[in-house]
Structure 1
Amino acid sequence: MADIFIRGLGLIGSSLVRAIKQKNEKLTICASDSNLSNLDYAKKRHLIDETCDDLQKATQADIIILATPITQIIEDIKSLARLPLKPGVIITDVGSTKQTVIQTAELLTEQGISFVGGHPMAGSHKTGVQAGRADLFENAFYFQITTENNEEAVVKIRDLLSETKAKWLRVTAKQHDKIVAQLSHVPHVIASALVNQTSEAFKDEPLGMRLAAGGFKSITRIASADPEMWTAILLNNTNLITKQLNEYIEALQDIVVKTKDKDVLALQTFFAQAKVKRDSLGPEKVGAVPNFYDLFINIPDQTGSLAKVTALLTTAEINIVNIHILEIREEVDGILQLTFSSDKDYKKAKATLLPYFQVINRDN
C-alpha cells in the first residue's frame, strides 16, 4: 500500500487524512505542519502515523499532498523539485488558486514527476485540525486540473480520496481561477468589507453591532475565514479578483446614481433580475456545490423550545454543524436556522422536526 505524505493539517488537510484513514486505516500517513500542536493532536487520535519537521520524509512517499496556504504550496513545490523523490510519485495540492500553482509545478513535470492540481470547494467557519471531518467534502465539487499525460495520476488521486464522496470535476487552471474568483474570492472580500464597514459605521453606536443578526450574519459568515489563507489567495489570483471587484464596484456606483435619481423602474428591474437569477440557482441545476444545508423553522418564544429541538435531533443521531437564532422577540415566534453538513442529515432533520415545528420555505 502506498505511503502518504501530507503537508498541512488544517481544516482541509485533516479532513483529507480522516477520509483516507476511513477507507484504509492500515495506510501509512506521515504529516508535516508548522503548528506542532496540530501534529500532536492528529498523532494522538491516530489520524496520522508519523510526524516530521520538513519535506525530507516526502522523498519516501508514493503520494504527496500539499494542503497549506497557496504561498507555501508554491514554495514547497520548488523545494520538492530539488529533492530525490521516489520513482512514480504523485504530487497533488488543494490550493484555492491554480494558475500560479500549475506554472510552478512545471519544475516537477519537466522531470517526469506527476502533478495533479486540485481544489475541493468545501470549507467551514471553523478552522484547524480539530474542525476536520471525513465528510467535509461530501457532495461538494472537487476540481482537478487538466494537464497532459497525468490521467493515471488523476485516477489514483480519486481512488485515494474516494471516501470523501466528492463530485470530481476536470477544468483548466484558467477556468478554475475565473470561476472561483467570482463565486468564492470576490464574495469573501465583499463579506469582509461589509463587516469592517458596518463596524466603522457603528463605532459610536455599539447597539448596532449587538443587533447585527439574521441576514447580516448569514451573508457575512464567510468573513470568519483564515486571514493568512485569504491574503495568499488574493496575491495569487490578483488579476481576476481585481477585475471582478472593479466590475462589482461599478455596479454599486450605478445603483447609487439610480437611487439618487429615484429611478423606480431601474431599481425594480435591478432587484427583479437578481431575484429571478438567484431563484434559478440550486443543486438540481449544477450539482450540490455548497456543503452546507440550512433548515429554517419557527420556534415559539417559550422556555424549553430550543432544548426540544436539540433533544429531538440528538435522539435521531443527527449532527448539527451550526445553530443560529435569526429572530426572537417577546410574544413572537423565533426563526431558528439549523445547518447540516449533508443532504442526508438535512432531510432526516426536516422529517424529525416537522411533526413538532413549522418549517419555513427559506432553504434551497
Structure 2
Amino acid sequence: MGKQLFVIGLGLIGGSLALAVKKDHPDTHVTGYDLNKNVMKAAISLGVINESAPSIEEGARHADLIIVAAPVKETIEILRELSSLPLKEEAIITDVGSTKKAICEASHVFDHVSAHFIGGHPMAGSHKSGVEAAKSHLFENAYYIITPVKETDARAVIQLQNWLKGTKARFIQLTPGNHDFFAGMVSHFPHIVASGLVHQLKEEGEKEPVLNNLAAGGFRDITRIASSSPVMWRDILLSNRDVLLGLIDKWQEEMNKVKGYIEKEDAERLFEFFDVAKQSRDALPVRKKGAIPSFYDLYVDVPDHPGVISDVTAILAKKQISITNIRILETREDIMGVLRLSFRSENDQLLAKEQLTKHMYEAYESP
C-alpha cells in the first residue's frame, strides 16, 4: 500500500484537497472522518475517499498526512486530541483555517512529538458547499498560504508542498500574524462591510418595501458575499478579533472623511476619492484567484422573443457547458433584455462566450 492520507472534515475544502491528492498521488489511500455519517457515505460513493474512519484516533493512527478541514475553534480542539494520540513517526499535520495565529499557537502541543504541524490556508472556495461540490481543480491558480513557525522543520514544509502539488495552487509562506492581517484586509473585512450594507437595507426596506425591489440588481450583486455561512464567519471574526477591530477603526475614519467632503460640498475631494478608488481597482489582477471566490459571469443581450432563454441554454448544453445560475437582469417590450449567466470556472465562461458569439449573440464579461 502507498502513502496514507487522513482528512478530518469532509466539506468542500476537505473533499477537494482529498481529490487533488488522489489525482496527483494515485497510490495514496485516503481515509476520511466527519461528524455526519451521511457525509462520509456520500464521500465514499463520490470517490472522494477510499474509506471512512469510525473515529479520529482510528483514522490518524497510520496516516502520513493529516488534513484538518474544520472551523478554527474545532480545529484547535482536534489538534489537542491528535497530540495525545500515537501518531506515525514524522507524520505531517496541516489545517485549512481562515485565521492562523490562534491555530499556530495551539500547535505547540506537537513540540515534543515527532509529528510536524504546518499551518495552511487554501484561499479558494465556491458558492456551493458540501462534499458534493468538491472538485480536484478547486485550488488551481489560487494562493495557498503556508504558515510555518520558527520550530517547523523545513523538510516537512517541502514534503507538504509535494503532497499538495496536485492542487496546482501558488504556494506562499507567511508568518501567522501577517497572514491574519492580509486575510482580514482582503477577505474578512469585506464580508463585514457587505453584511453591514444588507443590514442597512433590511432596516430601511421594512419602512419602504420598494427598496427591496430596487436592490434586486446591482446592490444584490455587490453584496453577494454576505450569503456565506453565519457560523463560519462568526468564528473567523472572533479568531481574528484584533486585526478586524483595527480595520474597522480605519474604515470609520475613511467614512468620516467622505462624510466631511459631502457636508462641505467639496467636489474636488469627492472626485479624487472616486478617481483613486477607480485607478486602484483597475490595477488589480484580473485573471488571478484571490481571497474571495471569483464570480465567472457572462452577460448576454437577448431579444424580446419567446424561447430565447431556452435557445441560449440549449446552445451551452449541447457543448456540455454547465450553468450554475441564470438571471434576467432586464426584459422590457421592444428592447433587448440582458441575461446574466454564472459558471463554475473561467474556462466554462470563455467557452460559453465563444459558443454564443458563434450563434450571433452579443456576450460580454461585464455589464
Shared fold (TM-score, shorter chain, > 0.5): yes
Q: Which range is displaced more, 298-307 or 322-331?
A: 322-331
Residue 199 (structure 2) pairs with residue 215 (structure 1)? no
Matches within 5 A, 1:145-224: 145-148=147-150, 149-224=152-227
Aligned twin of 1:41 = 42
Letter in 2 for 1:46: G
Matches within 5 A, 1:13-28: 13-28=14-29
Deviations along 1:12-38, whole A, 9 cap, x unmatched? 112212222333455222212122221
Question: Where does structure 1 lack aligned partners over 5 or more consecutive residues?
Answer: none
Deviations along 1:248-305, whole A, 9 cap, x unmatched? 1221222222222222111111111111111111246xx4325443322322232222
Residue 347 (structure 2) pairs with residue 344 (structure 1)? yes
Deviations along 1:106-152, whole A, 9 cap, x unmatched? 21134342112111111122222222222221221111124344333
Q: Distance in 2 between matches of 1:299 and 1:144?
A: 46
From 141, 146, 154, the equivalent of 1:139 is 141
Aligned twin of 2:259 = 256
1:183, distance to aligned residue in structure 2 (A): 0.4
Q: Distance in 2 between matches of 1:170 and 1:337?
A: 37
Equivalent pair of 1:21/1:27 in contact (CA under 8 Å) = yes
| TM-score using structure 2 length | 0.91
Q: Which range is displaced more, 147-156 or 97-106?
A: 147-156
Q: Which range is displaced more, 10-19 or 94-103?
A: 10-19
Q: CA RMSD in A?
A: 2.1
Residue 361 (structure 2) pairs with residue 357 (structure 1)? yes
From 54, 77, 80, the equivalent of 2:79 is 77
Aligned twin of 1:111 = 113
1:104, distance to aligned residue in structure 2 (A): 1.0
Give structure 1 regions of 4+ aligned residues with deviation exceeding 4 angstroms. none
Equivalent pair of 1:214/1:327 in contact (CA under 8 Å) = no
Q: Distance in 1 between matches of 2:5 and 2:297?
A: 35
Letter in 2 for 1:334: G
Equivalent pair of 2:46/2:132 in contact (CA under 8 Å) = no
Question: Where does structure 2 lack aligned partners over 5 or more consecutive residues?
Answer: none
Equivalent pair of 1:139/1:291 in contact (CA under 8 Å) = no
Q: Which SS does the other structure have where 2:279 is aligned?
A: helix
Q: Distance in 2 between matches of 1:84 and 1:282?
A: 46
Q: Which SS does the other structure have where 1:29 is aligned?
A: strand
- Counting aligned pairs with the same residue, the percent is 39
Q: Distance in 2 between matches of 1:138 and 1:307?
A: 32
Letter in 2 for 1:16: L
| TM-score using structure 1 length | 0.92
Equivalent pair of 2:91/2:114 in contact (CA under 8 Å) = no
